[in-house]
Structure 1
Amino acid sequence: MSSSKLIEYRGLLLPPQAHNAESLEFAQKFSVEDSDVFIVTYPKSGKLHS
């Protein structure tokens, strides 16, 4: 991926398909509480055979 296809935000190069300036500003200003729980997983990949 060439850098012309990336957006720069605070010195980071990011793919525009996943981020835009508004979403990055929201994430930057997001307030996390001590009671918050984050569940982080890998994206779904492959096939589900039933």
Structure 2
Amino acid sequence: LFEDFSQVGVTVLIASHDLDLISRLPYRQLTLKEGQLVGDSDPSALEAG
């Protein structure tokens, strides 16, 4: 399903406490703690080293 949205350029927002699920998604992830942004990760940056 996520791949389908990605192919047509649709933005998808997922709010989840399931960190295992979120960590497996190959998309930019923003992490909030107590309402504050504490993380912004781009999987392509991780792949680049």
* TM-score bucket of the superposed structures, by smaller chain: under 0.3
Q: Given the two structures, how large is their TM-score scaled by the length of structure 1?
A: 0.21
Decide which structure has the larger Cα Rg and report it.
Answer: 1
Q: Given the two structures, how large is their TM-score scaled by the length of structure 2?
A: 0.21
Structure with bigger helix share is 2
